[in-house]
Amino acid sequence: MSSLLARLGPDGPGGLMLSGHVDVVPAAGQQWTVPPFQLTRRDGRLYGRGTTDMKSFVACMMALVERLDPEGLTAPLWLAISYDEEIGCVGVRPMIEDMADRGIRPDLIVVGEPTSMQLGLGHKGKMAFRVTATGVPRHSAEAPLALNALHLATDFIAGLRRLQEEIEARGPREQGYSVPYATVHVGKLVGGTAVNLVPDKAELLLECRVMAADDPLGLAARIRNVAATALAPHKVRFAEATLEVEDTGSYPGLATEADDPSVQAFADCLPDGTTECRLSFGTEGGLFAQALEVPVVVCGPGDMQQGHRPDEFIDQGQLMICDRVLLDAVDRFCRGNEEPASHVPKQMHGKL
């Protein structure tokens, strides 16, 4: 698979970049009342996997291109379309590296994840880990003479819960998030083969969601310290016991200043009543901001409450708003016009 980076207009500095991904989460195991991979129109809604997250924004990008005359642009419009975002922003990374090498730095990057067209100025970063517990096997009739790897793993989990409580009580906080502090979460635990055998292997998967104010390396070190603390009481009797913590992937958070001139210029293109927001889910926005050092916002049609669920849908009205906003943004960033060009009623415009 490959990503796509396309330019309309002159090959010069500045301009606007629109970013979206085309992969989706699976629909298997979900109870859909419509075909998940066939678009269904019903009562002003569009149903199908990815309608909200986030092919509707990509469709708006393509519709925008059809309406533009590239010869009329005075600054570039960049379209960045990536793959495998859902498994850790995989596809966009080599594209961002190439952009950095080529010196491509737009005045603003808009990541079109679903925000109900509100202005997303931040999201949390993520760290993921695989932890393998190694114990000592034995017949269950003599379980006290063995070291149960599942017990060792759950001792570690108990330590993580205490770490989460400490973070909630004394860690950095950033208002605007539904959970305004870093989170530590175990999502999977597996181990054992039969009830009459003490398991010698167990594996768990955990993740941390961190804010811009957090120290990710420091938090990772604390997690490894939790593992060492859980393991220590058993090492005297069972020298072969281990708790191995493996980093399996991460991406940075995003924190964009609302008073940045480019952010304010984009805010002028949004409808009256638009508000700022912080997003609990992650995006490639933090990667763009980190590598290119340009302002990045997250703003797109649809509500993530509908994403990843059966009967995923988006309201067609959201697409209409997005079409108008993108056309006005191109006028601001790629034509240098101060007045919107989409002929939207005045109430559709205004700063935050």
Who wins on pLDDT, 177 or 349? 177
Q: What count of Cα atoms within 13 Å lies in the side-chain half-sphere of residue 88?
A: 11
* 232-259 average pLDDT score: 96
Decide if 276 is catalytic: no
Phi, psi of 57 (to 5 degrees): -65, -40
Interval 223-238 mean pLDDT: 97
Helix (H) or strand (E) holding 93: helix 92-102
Segment 8-29 mean pLDDT: 96
Contact 52, 312 (CB under 8 A): yes
Q: Measure the N-to-C terminal CA separation of the chain; round to a whole number of Å.
A: 39
Residue 222: its pLDDT value, please?
98
Active-site hit among 85, 284, 315, 323: 85
| pLDDT tens, residue by residue, 162-211 | 999 999 999 999 989 999 999 999 999 999 999 999 999 999 999 999 98
Question: Would you state the pLDDT for residue 93?
Answer: 96
Rounded Cα gap, residues 219 and 1, in angstroms? 34
Amino acid at 127: M
Which of the four pLDDT bands, split at 50, 70 and 90, describes residue 339?
A: low
Cα–Cα distance measured from residue 310 to residue 156, given in angstroms and rounded to the nearest whole number? 34
Confidence of residue 280 (pLDDT cuts 50, 70, 90): confident
Q: Where in the chain does DSSP place strands (E)?
A: 4-8, 16-21, 40-42, 45-47, 77-82, 108-111, 119-123, 125-134, 138-139, 183-191, 197-198, 201-210, 242-251, 254-255, 276-279, 296-298, 313-315
Here the contacts of 190-197 (C-beta below 8 Å, separation 24 or greater) are 191/133, 191/149, 191/150, 191/153, 192/149, 192/150, 195/140, 196/139, 196/140, 196/141, 197/137, 197/138, 197/139, 197/140
107 annotated active-site: no
Of 23, 86, 203, 244, the active-site residue reads: 23
Mean pLDDT of the chain: 94
pLDDT at 336: 85
Give me the mean pLDDT over the 83-111 stretch. Answer: 96
Give the pLDDT mean for 139-158: 98
Give the C-alpha separation, 182 to 285, whole Å.
Answer: 18
Is 346's pLDDT higher than 60?
no
Measured in degrees and rounded to the nearest 5, phi and psi for residue 188 equal -155, 140
pLDDT class for 337, splitting at 50, 70, 90?
Answer: confident
Contact 199, 137 (CB under 8 A): yes
Q: How far apart are CA 87 and CA 204, in angstroms?
A: 17
pLDDT at 351 over 60: no
Distance in angstroms (rounded) separating the CA atoms of residues 207 and 272: 37
Reduce the DSSP state of residue 74 to 3 states and report it.
coil
Does the pLDDT of residue 342 top 80, yes or no?
no
The pLDDT value recorded for residue 350 is 35
State what percent of residues in the chain have pLDDT above 70. Answer: 96
Contact in structure between 184 and 173 (CB atoms under 8 Å): no
Banded model confidence at residue 343, pLDDT cuts 50, 70, 90: very low
Percent of residues in the chain assigned helix, strand, coil, to nearest 5: 35, 25, 40
Please report the pLDDT score of residue 340 as a whole number.
53
SS3 345: coil
290-317 per-position pLDDT tens digit = 999 999 999 999 999 999 999 999 999 9
Question: Could you count the other beta carbons within 10 Å of the beta carbon of residue 166?
Answer: 12
Query: Which residue has 């961190």 as its token pair?
Result: 210
Q: Residue 317 has which token pair?
A: 């009205």
